[in-house]
Chain A
């Protein structure tokens, strides 16, 4: 039986009924005519022949009917009839239908949304970029800790790597774009010249970069702009190519416009422009970054050749890195290169979101399970209400298979509506992830593509089977005679039939218990993180920076500008203190690090001097930040280039290297120079709020100069006031300069903990949802149980049970289900909360407080859910209940 014969036939009999009917009549007419001819030939007269012919055919209408029957034996038609019947059933119970579809929409929608985020942020984060499944990222390592890498190293990898198809660099940067009066800092990328060819994206106007544009210091001021920038700032000017644009105070020639829908290659940010690698010094300032192997400032992307695994690539690249280490010990000692999967990329938001999204996947699957249990339960309760209908249909000869198909079809209708709603939810939630981040200008799109649609379709089918088969499973037990008799005669707590519904409720309670425990633990962790002191006063200190290198400043001009500006800022009303620092704590920027030596401190057995982190800060830094000095002094203006080099160490470092002796006045070797320790500062947080106390030291900015430090301002004034005043002062010094975004350090703290915030918000939201669903499920089951036990309740009341007895009876039955669910949930939760792992800060995954709190909340919620049915039970009229027999 080949489908290509059958399908057209079946579709024909379904959709072209008239034609089929005409065919049938004509066919039978032909037969009849031949029969008449035969009879006439035998000598009958035509009228009698006709009658005899009709008789021998056995009635033309009956034959037609049988032929139609023969054709109708097909699935499509039955299915269409089931759909019509199902729709009618659903229309008849609108409240039920809406409730079920809402549940399914939430369940499927939550899954589709989370998978669209996984797809859009981790799996295929870069729209229009070809072969993303083979992309990996490269970062440097120093003694197994992640670091940036240098362009000469990457060029060597590119030359020697046989398993790599292509290697390109894309490094995020900010620059000031001035058009007319408006100067604005915009985010873009510094990319290697092969960038657009490597990713397979071709500018819609103009060209991409050419091979030579990688080299020559600041030799190629050319620019490719995004479609968005072209449309908004250049008003879609079709003659844009070849125009010049003052961009970071360097006149760039616009050579291309990227196609619409291309957002660059940085998860979390939308790129507005791309400049070639040769321009890196104009953007980043500092020493040469093109030739200097020791200047580590970038990361790279690699597309592997087809069939090459990440491990193979790592082996080859590690071998290359080892060769470089041997060849250039001065710059590459202890350094390696690590290959990361795209979704683990540590230098953009992918790596930050990974643990959160992993948890989310587990959580939404839980929610879907709860939804299935809930909808299954609702359908089950309704199938009892429909038992009469089913029994009658069975009695009238419907096959059980037919009833089963009918029930599955109804399930399919419901879950198809739910899946459609779920896709809408996912579509609306595409950009919702950004809302949970405190940072401005984030770009975290979900992507709804064929795979997300496919996943939703699969979910829809799974749900259909789950919820459609539950009532079907029950109809299996329908005994005709019993169910045609009266029904309202079961007993509270009767085990038969009820166990299935009860176990569905228990399942829901267990799952929502797990979610709520997870949410509570995460909430406690977030509270701990947020209430931990970062070691500096965060709320009243503002932070921003001024892109000077890009504006063409060299070191002497920058020093003069910085000195002048800081004096002006300190003179502003409401400013208590102000200082510069190269790196703001808890940001994405890396602190400097250097191997150090200390008089009297013995090297560990491997003979390698330890690396420690440090920050370059200006006089007044500790006063501005509110970091207490334990002893010694702050840096002063006298600690400049011409003075002896000095440093301030933190407490942990003092304790580790000087072991109880006073380090002040002692020597410390930093980057090959001996410096004298002049003070001890209190410990604070440097990279993250969760980190343990670590060694750290400070050196004067003047002695380790950086052209673009952050400026910290301690003030009592609101941010807006200071921002306006600062901008005025900056413009007073140089009209071409712009300010980067100004934030409070508290904001910086919040941003650094946004990952926890996102996890907490989502898990708490879904946990609450789960609790609501479980309560609805419990309510449904208890209501049904009560409505089925009126006779028993009436009897009890007639025998003297009062209101409190009945209340207790019903409530205790409901609470039994809840506590069963919770007690199954507790060991599971003890197993599963360990998955939260490093998202938990100073909270044990077995925290008894969290478990206890959730226990109480769930008990209260289920008491509330059982109360209405219990109260209804007390309203049972004994006389009516007994008379109903």
Chain B
């Protein structure tokens, strides 16, 4: 296996729901190589999104170790985790989660405001990112002036603006029509193929999973099987 980008070591996570303890991840161990495109599949409640949030440093495991992009996340404080996220991880959410009061380019510039870049440099980077997702001509539009597919592509532009090592996508095509979903998936594949981004994508959709190089199956908080495969033919 090439360089490991994500190492999940005996991670457990449970939630309290009333008097009941719901174990979402149970002693899960997993390694993911740098530069690969992973799809994370499994039935509802299998712990996919929880794992994604833990890998992205949005949540902390109850036990176990998480090493992502060379950092032991368990050792980072809340503030250090925030800085780590800004430098290493880009998120793409199912509901796009663009800031509605900002234009497309302002949304993309947001994570760049945490970098030492000048305003002009931030703008240039954001324009490049929007160009990459094919939306430079929509950069001054507000989210509500964009279609769902366009919003998701802006979200991807925002996720890659700071050139993170890892892109975490939670059901990125869940709210999209077929054509828009295909555009988004092709974009993610391209980011993986051309820019060597490590991508971890949660999906229920086998067609979306076909774009990944590996499919990780989770079941009841534990690792099922891992399918290593070649990516599907683009534009098929």
Chain A bound to chain B: no
